[in-house]
């Protein structure tokens, strides 16, 4: 081949492409990256739905079944999702904003609701997260926080309660992470965390110590990092945990307690597993709650 022709061909191959050509390649690359990222996010969200959230749509009971007066409350979160809850007035102005765990719905907590109202004398607003009970949508970490924002707004604006003086956040299991997130952004009277955990990372590291936590976290979207948020909570904090909890080890509750500011209190529910705390705890359990709620939480450890 003529060496001059070969040189011309090589120069042509090395010639810079036009701006339009380069822009098209960048656009194609961005589309591919976006498609892959979107697929990964959708897969993470799907895994969250299968591994973290276990909602039930049918309400098995209402407060009326245990003789309580109540109001059905429907709220619209800031992203347009409608969520449902029950407001049960108490003898006192103090009101618990109660966040349940990852399974079932508020209908499964009617007995617990009744005992809290009777033993503490407080009002209770119990919320179903999106995807649970009569609430619309599908659960997600961001979504649960938006639902809680709607609930705290309802108590402040519709019920005209002072968050700092009248509202106590009560989070149970997964609900403890929701309560911490709200308390880190709003000054409330007090915060109660029962059977809670420091973060999804801490849970995965304890459940699967032989696997890299980074690999496990890459599979899920939720983080629920309460331990990193608790230093921003300046209300009194009470942590309760069963010493026989086989779902969330009491060590997790102790880590939450360590992350919290003073004043704080740790209460061990002797003999309790994850879902029987108020049954096993009995009268001493409710007395400890009452003392903390009404006394704004003097620091002590039991």
Phi, psi of 201 (to 5 degrees): -60, -45
Catalytic residue of the set 173, 176, 195, 199: 173
State yes or no: is 245 an active-site residue. Answer: yes
Rounded Cα distance between 259 and 181, Å, is: 14
**DSSP conformation class of 235:** S
For 95, the 3-state DSSP assignment is: strand
| β-strand partners of 242 | 269
For 199, the 3-state DSSP assignment is: coil
Q: Report how far apart the first and last C-alpha atoms of the chain are (Å, whole number).
A: 92
- Closest Cα partner for 260 from 168, 152, 183? 183
Catalytic residue of the set 84, 100, 186, 274: 274
Tokens standing for residue 10: 């090589």
Catalytic residue of the set 186, 195, 245, 249: 245
Residues with catalytic function = 173, 245, 274
């Amino acid at each position: 081949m003529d060496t001059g022709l070969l040189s011309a061909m090589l120069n042509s191959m090395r010639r810079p492409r036009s701006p339009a050509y380069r822009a098209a390649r960048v656009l194609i690359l961005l589309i591919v990256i976006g498609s892959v990222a979107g697929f990964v996010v959708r897969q993470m969200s799907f895994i969250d739905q299968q591994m973290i959230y276990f909602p039930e749509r049918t309400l098995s009971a209402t407060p009326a079944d245990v003789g309580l007066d109540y109001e059905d409350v429907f709220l619209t979160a800031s992203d347009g999702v409608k969520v449902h809850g029950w407001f049960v007035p108490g003898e006192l102005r103090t009101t618990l904003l109660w966040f349940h765990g990852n399974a079932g719905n508020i209908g499964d907590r009617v007995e617990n609701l009744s005992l809290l109202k009777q033993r503490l004398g407080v009002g209770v607003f119990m919320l179903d997260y999106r995807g649970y009970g009569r609430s619309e949508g599908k659960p997600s970490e961001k979504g649960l926080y938006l639902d809680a924002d709607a609930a705290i707004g309802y108590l402040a604006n519709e019920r005209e309660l002072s968050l700092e003086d009248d509202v106590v956040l009560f989070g149970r299991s997964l609900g403890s992470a929701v309560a911490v997130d709200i308390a880190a952004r709003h000054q409330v009277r007090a915060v109660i965390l029962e059977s809670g955990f420091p973060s999804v990372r801490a849970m995965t590291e304890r459940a699967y110590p032989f696997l890299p936590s980074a690999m496990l976290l890459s599979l899920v979207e939720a983080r629920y990092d309460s331990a990193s948020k608790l230093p921003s909570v300046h209300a009194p904090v009470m942590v309760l945990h069963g010493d026989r909890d086989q779902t969330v080890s009491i060590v997790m509750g102790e880590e939450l307690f360590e992350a919290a500011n003073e004043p704080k209190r740790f209460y061990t529910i002797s003999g309790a597993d994850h879902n029987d705390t108020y049954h096993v705890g009995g009268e001493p359990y409710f007395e400890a709650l009452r003392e903390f709620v009404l006394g704004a939480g003097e620091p002590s450890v039991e």
